[in-house]
Chains A and B, each alone.
Chain A
């Protein structure tokens, strides 16, 4: 079955970096974009960015450009999201999700979420 499986919870200090993985299975990895979406405690969904696993092309939310980097390794069907210079307000559950394309498409499969806690 189609699955996105994310790496485990992380606890980081302010100023550090974190790298979260999302491993895809059950479908052709390069046929679907992968998005990252985060949700701070008690808050709504915030889109972080997407990657086209076929070309490696990316796009990020304006307020996160320069702070977030999304990459992929097609040999193991895995996408990575790295957040640098962590602050306390980066504490959130980070989800990966796939979409068949951009512009007219929804995120139809989601990962289980990865909790990132930033605390001194």
Chain B
């Protein structure tokens, strides 16, 4: 079955740029999706189809996907961005796969 790998944690200083990676075999030929989850809350979609932002998601959140790696980038990171982030892709076009999640800490 298909697997997605994320770093368990990423730290960033306020105002700096945070990058969270998601690796999978030939991930670049699939769509990558990203969700943000704050403690005690349901996940929220922040990036779909590699780089598209849903309505209401700030422009400082962006995504890319190439080769074996998708990347979520948060520019000008703020305290409110501290959360767990999960990447997601589709396996064989019918099954959903999540990465293990990355805890973003804003120091």
Contact = CB atoms under 8 A, between A and B. Distances in A.
Interface string A62-89: 1000000000000000000000000000
Residue among A45, A103, A105, A108 facing the most chain B CB atoms (10 A cut-off) = A45
Contact of B33 (A59, A102, A106, A111): A106
A53 interface: no
A40 interface: no
Contacts of A10: none
Interface string B40-68: 00111100110000100000000000000
B88 interface: yes
B83 to A, nearest CB: 13
A27 interface: no
A102 B42 contact: no
Interface residues of B, number: 25
Contact of B100 (A44, A47, A102, A105): A44
Given A44-B86, A45-B101, A46-B98, A106 B93 contact: no
Contacts of B101: 44-45
A107 interface: yes
Given A44-B86, A44-B101, A103 B94 contact: yes
Chain B binding surface SS class: strand
B88 to A, nearest CB: 7
A61 B37 CA distance: 22
Contact of B43 (A61, A95, A102): A95
Contact of B45 (A37, A50, A107): A107
Given A45-B86, A47-B97, A104 B42 contact: no
Interface string A89-118: 000000101000011111110111100000
Given A62-B1, A106-B45, 10 more contacts: A46-B98, A47-B97, A47-B98, A102-B90, A103-B90, A103-B94, A104-B49, A107-B45, A107-B88, A112-B42
* Nearest 5 Cβ contacts at the A-B interface: A106-B48, A47-B96, A103-B93, A44-B101, A110-B42
7 contacts: A35-B96, A44-B99, A59-B94, A62-B95, A95-B42, A103-B94, A107-B35
